[in-house]
Amino acid sequence: MIPYLAITTFSLGPLTLHAWGLLVAFGFLFGGFMASRLAKQRGDDPSIIWDMLAWVAFAGMIGGRLGHVLFYDPGYYATHIIEVFEIWKGGLSIYGGFIVASITGILYLRRRKVDLLRYTDIVALGMPFGMWIGRIGCFLIHDHPGTATHFFFGVQYPDGVVRHDLGLYESINAFILAMVFLWMSRKPRPIGMYLAVFSTWYGITRFGMDFLRVIDVRYFGLTPGQYFSIVLFGIGAFFIMWIKRDAKKGES
């Protein structure tokens, strides 16, 4: 059992910093760093990753907040408009962030006239590294409590109930995928492989983990995240088949 550790803010001299926001920001930077390493390794331009990062990060935050407000608790925010802007308290939909950040990234890469799939694949490698760090912030503010459990990774909540903590699980899940990507990066992989693996892995694991959530809204028995997970898995499966078909063409 893990004790309930809640850190929302901390002081740095005269500044009061929000732990969740700081870790999310650091996650973006760390993910960008790992993606730029792969770009350099492949002989691509790492500066494109860094130039795109600010746009994608901003778009991801906007999309994440809109996704949370529109899909998870629209009734509450309709009567608490000012709280829509209080993102330091948590409350981002990662899929909302994915959608808006992806659109922004695609537009940026097209403007730079570079290979869209090649650079999207590079960005995909950085995703689990950023999520690993960012989800620690979710764990520290405990905004994704789960069902009661006797699992040894359960967290002892203040009400005395030991619960699954989905922020913690998401961070562990991302860390494992990040290590898989580190192993994969030891030798050249087909273009699109990181995108395919990330999409299928996260689509499957997120779909399963959402059954443990207790405060998420459900539509016809599934959370918004589960519906988006099905779509993400479909994208990953498409790229896996595309890569296999391309490999067979190369062998013929």
Question: How high is the pLDDT of residue 207?
Answer: 98
Q: Distance (Å, rounded) from C-alpha 157 to C-alpha 104?
A: 39
With beta carbons less than 8 A apart as the criterion, state whether 63 and 89 touch: no
Q: Distance (Å, rounded) from C-alpha 168 to C-alpha 156?
A: 13
Q: Is 164 helix (H, G, I), strand (E, B) or coil?
A: strand
CA–CA distance from 210 to each of 5, 146, 213 (Å)? 22, 9, 5
Instruction: Using a pLDDT cut of 90, give the percent of the chain over it.
Output: 74
Per DSSP, helices labelled H in the chain are 19-42, 46-67, 74-79, 94-112, 116-141, 166-184, 193-209, 224-251
Q: Classify residue 68 as exposed, middle or buried by CB count within 10 Å of its CB (0-12, 13-18, 19+).
A: buried
| pTM, full prediction | 0.91
Q: Distance (Å, rounded) from C-alpha 175 to C-alpha 149?
A: 22
Residue 22 has pLDDT above 60, yes or no: yes
Question: How high is the pLDDT of residue 89?
Answer: 64
Rg (CA), the chain: 19
